[in-house]
A and B are shown apart, each in its own frame.
Chain A
Amino acid sequence: MSQQGYVAAPPYSQAQPGMGGYQGGFGPGPAQPLYGHYGGPPQRMPAPPTALMKSPVSSAAGMPPPPVSSQYNPNIQQNGAHTQRYPTAPAVSAAYGQPLQSPYNSMASTAPPPTQQLTNQMTAMNLGNYAPPATSTVMQQPFQTSPPPAMGQLQMSPGQQSPHISPQMSPPLSPPATMQMGGQPMGGQPMGGQPMAGQMMAGPPMAGQPMAGPPMAGQPMAGQPMAGPPMAGQQMAGPPMAGMGGRPFQGPPPPGPGGFQQPGPGPVGPPGYPQQAGQFGGQMVGPQPGMPGGFPAGPGGMAGPPQKKLDPDSIPSTTQVIEDDQAKQGGHVYNTNIRGQVPPLVTTDFSVNDQGNASPRFMRCTTYSLPCTADLAKQCQVPLASIIKPFANLPKNETPLYVVNHGETGPIRCNRCKAYMCPYMQFIDGGRRYQCGFCNCVNEVPVFYFQHLDHMGRRVDFYERPELSLGSYEFVATMEYCKNNKPPNPPAYIFMIDVSYNNIKSGLVKLICDELKTLLENLPREDGMESSAVKVGFVTYNKVLHFYNVKSALAQPQMMVVSDTAEMFVPLLDGFLVNYQESRAVITNLLDQIPDMFADTNESETVFAPVIQAGVEAFKAAECSGKLFIFHSSMPTAEAPGKLKNRDDKKLVSTEKEKTLFQPQKGVYEQLSKDCVAQGCSVDLFLFPSQYVDLATMGDVPSHTGGSVYKYNNFQVEADGEHFLRDLRKDVQKSIGFDAIMRVRTSTGFRATDFFGAIYMNNTTDIEMAAVDCDSAVTVELKHDDTLSEEAGALMQCALLYTTVNGQRRLRIHNLSLNCSSQLSELYKSCETDSLINFFAKSAYRAILNQPLKNVREILVNQTAHMLACYRKNCASPSAASQLILPDAMKVFPVYMNSLMKTAPLVASTELSTDERAHQRLSVMAMGVEATQLLLYPRLVPLHNMDVNSEALPAPLRCSEERLADSGMFLLENGHSMFLWLGQASPPDLIQSIFNLPSLAHLQGHMCALPELDNPLSKKVRSIINGLLEKRPNSMKLQIVRQKDKPEMLFRQFLVEDKGLHGGASYMDFLCYVHREIRQLLT
């Protein structure tokens, strides 16, 4: 069970058997479709939740842990049902006041009824349209399980309801909330929120509807208000019964119908119940159809009572954690003078004072206290990794890196390990020698560098030399650090525009050309330089390439067509790459002409590999490095190297071969990446596809050259123009270094073993990047090769050799020192969830290239469980096994992990476009911690009730539908997408002040920007949106969705705490599942 080794399938696979067993027992279920996300057999998922459900309370209550099986079924049902189940809890309103126990008690005594009722109502509420399966679960329990141990059921349910999550570390933070998942809170909130629900609630029958399942949605709604129960009952009863009915009923000993009714009638409103019951029956059937497999098998096991509605507020909240950290450390200065100090969260607003360790903006670690031995590391399964963002932007109030010049001899380095001079070098012998902190080699201090030591053994010039006192700084590199021992030329940007029919027709070419005229004024430049040294060049292409000579001496530009795409070459040298300022007139002339020149084109075929090849050749000829901006529309089908054909095959989804969808096609592009990296040619690809383009292959070169892939499906200038231009502007202007090689050196005992990012590895240690910009991050996995000492700690030095935008060769050094401990508790205490999830995301995304998704998901879940179990076993104070105990630093880890598993690449759904999945996979590989955090837990900001006069952004809410309000307006963004969600009941004055429209109904579907209105709310909302667009590395297209409109589906998939649209568990379910796994591991 090695931590890293996703590759090491065997151990994981073992886990499966276990799972399998479950399934078998419970009904090897076919249910898979629904549970699909989970990876495995759907059943598994359900099962775990039940386990989780066991809360300490329950145990306290004296309930024996419910048989796994029983819970199992319920879960399944729940899964099948919509997320909404939770809301059901509210029904319990009565119980509300009382904490967990009371419900339990009631449960125990009354058995199913109460819970069921609650659940029923809840489901009705939540689902609104959809009939939540929750009810069904309720139903089932009675049937199936009820016979044998009544107790069991009871126990089960309570247990489930209140799995306690007790973050030991942070009791103060949110003890109460965490404690009980129990339904109480649930009840109240959801109810209130939904007006619809109200009606529904009234009529118990509603519950039945939910059963009916999603398809029913429309009908049930209608029916409820009207006739209430009877309606539902009829509908449901008919069909469902027939199909499913048999099995479920059979299983349960109790009389079919009666059983159903029982729950209903029980405690809650008697009148309604009976009716419900009837419905229930019907409903049950309904849901089953979806689950067919599961049910049949399950009957025996189904027993578990489902209802365990946990209070969503009681499970660890990401927003709360972020808020707390912001409150605690926000606005403070973070000094980096302490070894192994855990930095504030990436979401926290703080400033850094470099006092010997690199700023967390540059380097973050999964844990700041490494286990001393490999065994410990293996035991805890917490990955050891560092995420390095060597070019990260620093806020204005932080000092830029100092540049150190050690003269002609170059930077002073350890003779043995070649580490660069840094604060970890120990000067001895009166300052004549120094001992390397990494390899312990003793080196002579060069004469020119000699300095006396003070009484503390510190050099007298300690504070004058950045390389002795700071964590990050730069060295001027000498000739020997340059290619061919020649100083590099300033880099160049080449804009390569696909002028095939699609791009011309869409107006894209004109848009780009117009934009470039102003954009080129803002090329990145060295601080203090008047103008940029970056040269520019232009290429257009369809199935042939057109190069442009824009030498300043020319009266008009010259176009050179190269049709020989088989062996690409650059037809001109002088005049192709020029200084923008000098050639401005000719370039403007050219950019004016390009759209017209191709206005009549009917060429729709394009080439791609030759375009990149051309860029490489151009850089080769000009002896410089640089970046290609390729604006491309379609799959390259023209006869040329790198020609692609459609290999999208939805049939491969969920099969062993699914990985091929992510794998780039070999051959030309592989070699091309190599050539690009060798020449320092980074490729940024802007794609404007209208159909499948094999992004996995087309994105291969960018993803190995430090480039990015931007994708705009069905691009339309009006709708996406501004969005694209924002991306382009950010991309062109961002600070960047070229032709980079990075090396991570470590002190003895451990080393960097694996690397993730938009990088190219020629050997096992040198990380080559054609370009590295302020957003590119490399995740480095660390492994022991010896024992670490607590005393010496662990040191890391990341050295990045690169060429500046000005054409200077520099070395950027980041140093970081970590603690080492032989206590696992130290490790868990120093963990950083955001970094952990970054590592997991990247390693999982890489793993899917080689393994079936199913395995990868299993590995993720298993490792999650393992990490937590290890904590429970070794660090947590003893407590009941049914209690879920999370380390404080990792308490929100499950929500991220669950979100990760619901991301497109990891979800095997045929509804997702293959390109989209490949795109997300590639973009995540280069992401830093901040970006993955946001991606996996989007910001959901309520805008309808904020203080328009306040500067601050309203506090984000948890990403769950239940947080939405029908009359509210919410902004959701994850760094790539941005939604403005409008509740159905948004007050007209809100609509008026934001959109200048009388009501929501007048809103046009495809609006992508808010009108500029002169009222405080409008201004505030726009400033919030603009602020976010400004802040994020990528532009986001603002999508305005109305509640219940079709596009809302897009929005919903970002509510990561809910059940995934394309599969995947809700946060709650996941937690339960993990809990179960943990318990298993512990026993």
Chain B
Amino acid sequence: MTTYQEFIQQNEDRDGVRFSWNLWPSSRLEATRLVVPVSCLFTPLKERPDLPPVQYEPVLCSRANCKAVLNPLCQVDFRAKIWACNFCFQRNPFPPSYAGISEVNQPAELMPQFSTIEYIVQRGPPAPLIFLYVVDTCLEEEDLQALKESLQMSLSLLPPNALVGLITFGRMVQVHELSCEGIAKSYVFRGTKDLTSKQIQEMLGLSKPAASGQQGRPPAPQDASASCKFLQPVHRVDMNLTDLLGELQRDPWPVPQGKRPLRSTGVALSVAVGLLEGTFPSTGARVMLFIGGPPTQGPGMVVGDELKTPIRSWHDIQKDNARHLKKATKYYEAMANRSAVNGHSIDIYACALDQTGLLEMKCLSNLTGGHIVMGDSFNTSLFKQTFQRVFSKDYNGDFRMAFGGVLEVKTSRELKVCGAIGPCVSLNSKGSCVSENEMGVGGTSQWKVCSLNPSTTLGMYFEVVNQHNAPVPQGGRGVIQFVTQYQHSNTQRRIRVSTIARNWADAQSQIQHIESSFDQEAAAVLMARLGVFRAESEEGPDVLRWLDRQLIRLCQKFGQFNKEDPTSFRLSESLSLYPQFMFHLRRSPFLQVFNNSPDESSYYRHHFVRQDLTQSLIMIQPILYSYSFHGPPEPVLLDSSSILPDRILLMDTFFQLVIYHGETIAQWRKAGYQEMAEYENFKQLLQAPLDDAQEILQTRFPMPRYIDTEHGGSQARFLLSKVNPSQTHNNLYAWGQETGAPILTDDVSLQVFMDHLKKLAVSSSA
């Protein structure tokens, strides 16, 4: 018998799924008492080098409102060539092509190891990949130059048949025609005028008036010919586009003193979305928006062009002082929804020292599965490498990106799906397995995920609906099937099906089993996603209070204690780390806006709700490694006591990678010992964290901010703000020893937090 740890690991590897509970309480009542809902983190496109896709269509249950896919859990009558759907119990005959199956000759989808399987299906002509660059030209010369180079470079990374397009904007918006020789041609739009999609298409000459109307369906060839003006295969316009990018100039309109440049981001996006809507509806496409500042005019304007009016801060927002916030947000939301409907995703690459309006624009990426990358300048390796990584390829040489995904969830009768949290939008598909109780984006059993990559992870929340008095038969299993249809980067249409089953357990009699099936990591992330989801719409303190309450209830449920005796409180191993995660989550930038701009908060949250479990955990509780002469590198507590003079610390917060040299090490380094031959080992010690950091940098998307600092350095604040302030100026003397570094904060330490938690958990009044 494997341990739960191994089981969980195994399941994650095979199906890309991590459940909060791996035994499911068999009744609704019991389930609600477990505090943490039955839920999972699901990574639809988890890389499976060992999983060759099959080249045929999945077999579907014939019941119209079921359509579940044949899977290893189905009962099969090989003799009658009939299979029973394990969701609706419909008995279905196998299609003729399955005539030859038998116990010894089973199709892959019936084999247990293929609980996740991928089909390649033939549906319509292969759709090319489409990349539409939307480039802000109100940049500093140096920035623009760097950006141009990055864009030119990216052309070489695209598959030759991919279509590219270019829109530039500043005060005006220019859509560049790519197929013309001898003269650079572009269509120009006023940056202040909100245009409908139809108007845009008309102005771009995409819609032919009259004619096609009566025929029923719009003729396809017209689209192809019209679109070629603006979206061209890379191989054909490579040179043209490279030149075009090379000649790109800063926005020529003069910017008077005391003004921001006029930046028509809103209209530019509207044109981009309108262009794609008109030419490639329901085909995967990426709009890549590069901005060097906030939108300052037209629809979607975030801040006026007067420099004396600063861009909104959290303070302004709380005071309801952000004039443009609501309007702009609404504008971008509408745009995001339009884009999502057509399966087009929008990336935002924002590089500026000040805010660029991500708060307002975040939904563009959040709803369409696009990336958000935030940097200080386009001329940094952070941007350059991140951007390059967008085009990274997998073991097959295909892009690690997929388009136009539709994720559908089917559940067995005892379960219903409450919602999803991640880079998706609801497709409003109501079905029998949809719960009325919404968590995250709910009310549907299908979600659109316009852009996916192997790490894209959604939190899925379920509800046990089985009534208490209708016990599930012993040994019965609950089943969930995830069906993900998407456009692979090699233009194939594919369907990936994961069918997951878990045992039911009676919470009354088998509470220990359930407890031990608890995946506290997954649970922490899932609860955190709920928290972040709430934080987007609610006030920070409410969310914290809610989180605390959940934690206390969980402790009450599963802790072992004597009433009113905090010291007696104990948690089992499977829950022991959970409170600590919550402690760090409470302090994280996902829930705390102090010290972060609204843009930063949006940025952090954006990434938090899409990364897989490991990365999410790092975000919640950063990892701290220690390098010293005392032994090999080791992880140490994220605690101020870990900050010692003779150590080098490497902290990974996902967004930042901090290398911190302790006081002594810093002095040595300053003295230059590492240069001396006899201190080779010191040199190695200094090098070790750099190497490890490099390794992380290599794989992380987006590139973390890389910080090399030392004791007393200003950048050390990144470390100091993360560690548990076990030593502060308040208790420094109480401890009376020289270990660690005191943190100058009034935040509570983990110890204090735990003390309170215990107190509340054991209190009968709570």
> Which A residues are closer than 8 A to B by beta carbons?
544, 547, 554-564, 567, 569, 571-575, 589-590, 593, 597
Assess whether A590 is in contact with B183, with CB atoms less than 8 Å apart: yes
Assess whether B183 is in contact with A544, with CB atoms less than 8 Å apart: no
In the bound complex, residues from chain B placing their C-beta under 8 Å from that of A562 are 187-189
Partner of B172, one of A567, A571, A590, A593: A571
Cα–Cα distance between A556 and B195 once the two chains are bound (Å): 31
Partner of B183, one of A557, A563, A572: A557
Assess whether B188 is in contact with A558, with CB atoms less than 8 Å apart: no
Nearest Cβ in chain B — how far from A105, in angstroms? Answer: 82
Partner of A560, one of B174, B180, B202, B253: B174
Tell me if B247 is interfacial: C-beta within 8 Å of chain A. Answer: yes
Assess whether B189 is in contact with A559, with CB atoms less than 8 Å apart: no
In the bound complex, residues from chain B placing their C-beta under 8 Å from that of A574 are 252
Known interface pairs A558-B186, A563-B189, A572-B188; 4 further A-B residue pairs with C-beta atoms within 8 A, sorted by A's residue number: A555-B247, A562-B188, A569-B190, A573-B252
The closest CB in chain A to the CB of B252 belongs to A574
Cα–Cα distance between A951 and B521 once the two chains are bound (Å): 109
Assess whether A560 is in contact with B252, with CB atoms less than 8 Å apart: no
Q: How many A-B residue pairs have CB under 8 A?
A: 62
> Which B residues are closer than 8 A to A by beta carbons?
172, 174, 180, 182-190, 193, 195, 202-205, 247, 252-254
Cα–Cα distance between A1032 and B153 once the two chains are bound (Å): 62
Partner of A564, one of B174, B185, B189: B189
In the bound complex, residues from chain A placing their C-beta under 8 Å from that of B188 are 547, 560-562, 571-572
The closest CB in chain A to the CB of B182 belongs to A593
Assess whether B193 is in contact with A572, with CB atoms less than 8 Å apart: no
In the bound complex, residues from chain A placing their C-beta under 8 Å from that of B186 are 558-561
Assess whether A556 is in contact with B203, with CB atoms less than 8 Å apart: no
Assess whether B252 is in contact with A597, with CB atoms less than 8 Å apart: no
Assess whether B204 is in contact with A558, with CB atoms less than 8 Å apart: no
Cα–Cα distance between A574 and B195 once the two chains are bound (Å): 26
Cα–Cα distance between A111 and B492 once the two chains are bound (Å): 111
In the bound complex, residues from chain B placing their C-beta under 8 Å from that of A554 are 247
Nearest Cβ in chain B — how far from A920, in angstroms? Answer: 38
Cα–Cα distance between A556 and B193 once the two chains are bound (Å): 30
In the assembled complex, 6 residue pairs joining A and B whose CB atoms fall closer than 8 Å, in A order, are: A558-B183, A558-B184, A559-B183, A561-B185, A563-B203, A572-B172
Assess whether A564 is in contact with B183, with CB atoms less than 8 Å apart: no
The closest CB in chain B to the CB of A557 belongs to B183
Partner of A567, one of B174, B193, B205, B252: B193
Nearest Cβ in chain A — how far from B210, in angstroms? Answer: 13
In the bound complex, residues from chain A placing their C-beta under 8 Å from that of B202 are 563
On whether A564 and B190 interact (CB within 8 A), knowing A557-B183, A559-B183, A593-B182, the answer reads yes
On whether A563 and B205 interact (CB within 8 A), knowing A558-B183, A558-B184, A571-B172, the answer reads yes
On whether A563 and B190 interact (CB within 8 A), knowing A556-B183, A571-B172, the answer reads no
The closest CB in chain A to the CB of B202 belongs to A563
Assess whether B252 is in contact with A572, with CB atoms less than 8 Å apart: yes
Cα–Cα distance between A590 and B184 once the two chains are bound (Å): 11
In the bound complex, residues from chain B placing their C-beta under 8 Å from that of A559 are 180, 183-186
Assess whether A560 is in contact with B187, with CB atoms less than 8 Å apart: yes
The closest CB in chain B to the CB of A565 belongs to B203
Nearest Cβ in chain A — how far from B745, in angstroms? Answer: 52
Assess whether A556 is in contact with B184, with CB atoms less than 8 Å apart: yes
In the bound complex, residues from chain B placing their C-beta under 8 Å from that of A590 are 183
In the bound complex, residues from chain A placing their C-beta under 8 Å from that of B187 are 560-563
In the bound complex, residues from chain B placing their C-beta under 8 Å from that of A547 are 188
In the bound complex, residues from chain B placing their C-beta under 8 Å from that of A575 are 252
Nearest Cβ in chain A — how far from B602, in angstroms? Answer: 32
The closest CB in chain B to the CB of A548 belongs to B183
The closest CB in chain A to the CB of B249 belongs to A574
Assess whether A567 is in contact with B190, with CB atoms less than 8 Å apart: yes
Cα–Cα distance between A575 and B202 once the two chains are bound (Å): 27
Nearest Cβ in chain B — how far from A348, in angstroms? Answer: 54
Assess whether A556 is in contact with B182, with CB atoms less than 8 Å apart: yes
Partner of B185, one of A558, A563, A569: A558
Assess whether B193 is in contact with A564, with CB atoms less than 8 Å apart: yes
The closest CB in chain B to the CB of A554 belongs to B247
Most buried by A among B187, B193, B205: B187
In the bound complex, residues from chain A placing their C-beta under 8 Å from that of B182 are 556, 589, 593
Cα–Cα distance between A597 and B195 once the two chains are bound (Å): 28
Assess whether A573 is in contact with B253, with CB atoms less than 8 Å apart: yes
Nearest Cβ in chain A — how far from B183, in angstroms? Answer: 5
Nearest Cβ in chain B — how far from A564, in angstroms? Answer: 6
In the bound complex, residues from chain B placing their C-beta under 8 Å from that of A571 are 172, 174, 188
The closest CB in chain B to the CB of A621 belongs to B253
In the bound complex, residues from chain A placing their C-beta under 8 Å from that of B183 are 556-559, 590, 593, 597
Nearest Cβ in chain A — how far from B46, in angstroms? Answer: 46
In the bound complex, residues from chain A placing their C-beta under 8 Å from that of B172 are 569, 571-572
Nearest Cβ in chain A — how far from B741, in angstroms? Answer: 56
Cα–Cα distance between A560 and B187 once the two chains are bound (Å): 5
Cα–Cα distance between A544 and B172 once the two chains are bound (Å): 16
Cα–Cα distance between A554 and B182 once the two chains are bound (Å): 12
Nearest Cβ in chain B — how far from A313, in angstroms? Answer: 66
In the bound complex, residues from chain B placing their C-beta under 8 Å from that of A597 are 183
In the bound complex, residues from chain A placing their C-beta under 8 Å from that of B184 are 556-559
Nearest Cβ in chain B — how far from A961, in angstroms? Answer: 55
CB-CB nearest 8 A-B residue pairs: A563-B203, A571-B188, A574-B252, A561-B187, A558-B184, A559-B185, A560-B188, A569-B190
The closest CB in chain B to the CB of A576 belongs to B252
Cα–Cα distance between A589 and B182 once the two chains are bound (Å): 9
Nearest Cβ in chain A — how far from B505, in angstroms? Answer: 65
Cα–Cα distance between A573 and B253 once the two chains are bound (Å): 7
Nearest Cβ in chain A — how far from B661, in angstroms? Answer: 50
Nearest Cβ in chain B — how far from A534, in angstroms? Answer: 21
The closest CB in chain B to the CB of A571 belongs to B188
Assess whether B252 is in contact with A563, with CB atoms less than 8 Å apart: no
In the bound complex, residues from chain A placing their C-beta under 8 Å from that of B203 are 544, 563-564
Most buried by B among A556, A563, A574, A575: A563
Cα–Cα distance between A908 and B186 once the two chains are bound (Å): 50
In the bound complex, residues from chain B placing their C-beta under 8 Å from that of A564 are 189-190, 193, 195, 203
In the bound complex, residues from chain A placing their C-beta under 8 Å from that of B193 are 564, 567
The closest CB in chain A to the CB of B172 belongs to A571
Cα–Cα distance between A384 and B180 once the two chains are bound (Å): 62
In the bound complex, residues from chain A placing their C-beta under 8 Å from that of B252 are 572-575
In the bound complex, residues from chain B placing their C-beta under 8 Å from that of A563 are 187, 189, 202-205
The closest CB in chain B to the CB of A560 belongs to B188
The closest CB in chain A to the CB of B204 belongs to A563
Cα–Cα distance between A569 and B174 once the two chains are bound (Å): 13
Cα–Cα distance between A472 and B190 once the two chains are bound (Å): 48
Cα–Cα distance between A555 and B243 once the two chains are bound (Å): 10
In the bound complex, residues from chain B placing their C-beta under 8 Å from that of A558 are 183-186
In the bound complex, residues from chain B placing their C-beta under 8 Å from that of A593 are 182-183
Nearest Cβ in chain B — how far from A587, in angstroms? Answer: 12
Cα–Cα distance between A555 and B193 once the two chains are bound (Å): 32
Nearest Cβ in chain B — how far from A263, in angstroms? Answer: 71
Most buried by B among A547, A558, A574: A558
Nearest Cβ in chain B — how far from A46, in angstroms? Answer: 58
Nearest Cβ in chain B — how far from A258, in angstroms? Answer: 75
Nearest Cβ in chain A — how far from B396, in angstroms? Answer: 41
In the bound complex, residues from chain B placing their C-beta under 8 Å from that of A572 are 172, 188, 252
In the bound complex, residues from chain B placing their C-beta under 8 Å from that of A589 are 182
Cα–Cα distance between A554 and B249 once the two chains are bound (Å): 11
The closest CB in chain A to the CB of B191 belongs to A569
In the bound complex, residues from chain A placing their C-beta under 8 Å from that of B190 are 564, 567, 569
In the bound complex, residues from chain A placing their C-beta under 8 Å from that of B254 are 573
Nearest Cβ in chain B — how far from A33, in angstroms? Answer: 46
The closest CB in chain A to the CB of B174 belongs to A560
Nearest Cβ in chain A — how far from B222, in angstroms? Answer: 15
Cα–Cα distance between A575 and B250 once the two chains are bound (Å): 13
Nearest Cβ in chain A — how far from B225, in angstroms? Answer: 13
Nearest Cβ in chain B — how far from A572, in angstroms? Answer: 7
Cα–Cα distance between A571 and B188 once the two chains are bound (Å): 6
Cα–Cα distance between A264 and B759 once the two chains are bound (Å): 143
In the bound complex, residues from chain A placing their C-beta under 8 Å from that of B189 are 562-564
